[in-house]
């Protein structure tokens, strides 16, 4: 009977949903299972068993628009994250940062120090002698050390002139990485950009942010 076929298809879709590891495939399978269960419930009219299956029809008739809505929300979020500029990611980060003033010649960290802080240059410039690199206003640095296996710096950071820096703790940066998709993607772009520019280094000290 077709009602039995519909029941097995719906059950198979529910079973397969437990193997989905990401949200979009999970929602697609859930929508397909909702449709299958709705068909199963409607076939109950034909086979005279509607009184036993109508709760299933009602349940999945309610779940179908909810799953469609959630699927649209997820796809919209992914699109917004990919379209978000680095400036938008930084604006989301600023409220969690604290500002500090440093004099010319101040050492922010040395090679081998724990990587426990992320920096944004608000004014001035910072040099990294070991890798012959410098960053200036609008640049972010110190991000890759947060994700390095040993969580240590592989270069020294020195203020070339009087600087104003915005800083955030490593723990808070990692928390935001998981909570804010825009900031997470921003960090991934920074790290991947550094890796492409410096394939021989395992812990970059700095990567400039785009203006």
3-state SS of the chain is: CHHHHHHHHHHHHHHHHCCCCCHHHHHHHHHHHHHHHHHHHHHHHHCCCHHHHHHHHHHHHHHHHHHHHHHHHHHHHHHHHHHCCHHHHHHHHHHHCEEEEECCCCEEECCCCECCEEEEEEECEEEEHHHCEEEECCCEECCHHHCCCCCECCCCEEECCCEEEEEEEHHHHHHHHHHCHHHHHHHHHHHHHHHHHCCCCCCCCEECCCC
Check residue 29 and give its pLDDT: 92
152 and 103 together in one domain: yes
Residues 6+ apart with CB under 8 A from 66: none
170 and 110 together in one domain: yes
Check residue 78 and give its pLDDT: 62
Check residue 191 and give its pLDDT: 58
Helices 181-197 and 50-83: crossing angle in degrees, nearest 10, is 50
97 and 73 together in one domain: no
CATH number at residue 169: 2.60.120.10
Check residue 158 and give its pLDDT: 94
Check residue 168 and give its pLDDT: 85
Last residue of a domain, one of 83, 115, 147: 83
146 and 187 together in one domain: yes
Closest CA to 121 of 105, 107, 102: 102
45 and 140 together in one domain: no
- Other C-beta atoms closer than 10 Å to the C-beta of 114 total 12
Closest CA to 98 of 114, 123, 118, 128: 118
Q: What is the mean pLDDT of each run of 10 residues along the chain (211 residues)?
A: 82 86 86 92 80 86 93 74 61 78 93 88 92 86 76 88 89 77 69 50 39 29
Check residue 6 and give its pLDDT: 82
- Specify whether the CB–CB gap between 135 and 163 falls below 8 A: no
Check residue 91 and give its pLDDT: 67
Q: Which domain holds residue 159?
A: 86-207
100 and 194 together in one domain: yes
Q: Which residue has the tokens 């590891």?
A: 21
Write out the two tokens for 118.
Answer: 């992320």
Last residue of a domain, one of 26, 56, 83: 83
Q: How far apart are CA 194 and CA 140, in angstroms?
A: 12
23 and 120 together in one domain: no
72 and 96 together in one domain: no
23 and 97 together in one domain: no
Sign of CA dihedral 14, 18, 21, 22: positive
93 and 195 together in one domain: yes
Number of domains in the chain: 2
151 and 52 together in one domain: no
53 and 99 together in one domain: no
Helices 170-179 and 181-197: crossing angle in degrees, nearest 10, is 110
Last residue of a domain, one of 68, 83, 98: 83
Check residue 165 and give its pLDDT: 92
């Amino acid at each position: 009977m077709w009602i039995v076929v519909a029941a097995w298809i719906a059950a198979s879709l529910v079973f397969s949903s437990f193997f989905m590891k990401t949200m979009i495939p999970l929602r697609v399978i859930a929508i397909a299972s909702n449709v299958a269960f709705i068909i199963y419930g409607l076939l109950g009219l034909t086979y005279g068993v509607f009184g036993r299956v109508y709760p299933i029809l009602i349940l999945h008739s309610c779940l179908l628009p909810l799953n469609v809505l959630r699927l649209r929300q997820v796809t919209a979020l992914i699109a917004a994250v990919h379209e978000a500029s680095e400036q938008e990611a930084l604006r989301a980060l600023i409220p969690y940062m604290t500002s500090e003033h440093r004099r010319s010649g101040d050492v922010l960290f040395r090679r081998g120090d724990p990587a426990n802080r992320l920096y944004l240059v608000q004014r001035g410039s910072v040099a990294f002698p070991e890798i012959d690199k410098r960053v200036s206003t609008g640049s972010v640095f110190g991000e890759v050390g947060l994700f390095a296996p040993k969580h240590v710096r592989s270069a020294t950071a020195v203020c070339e002139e009087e600087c104003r820096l915005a800083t955030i703790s490593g723990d808070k940066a990692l928390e935001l990485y998981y909570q804010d998709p825009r900031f997470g993607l921003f960090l991934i772009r920074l790290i991947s950009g550094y890796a492409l520019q410096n394939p021989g280094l395992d812990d970059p000290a700095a990567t400039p942010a785009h203006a």
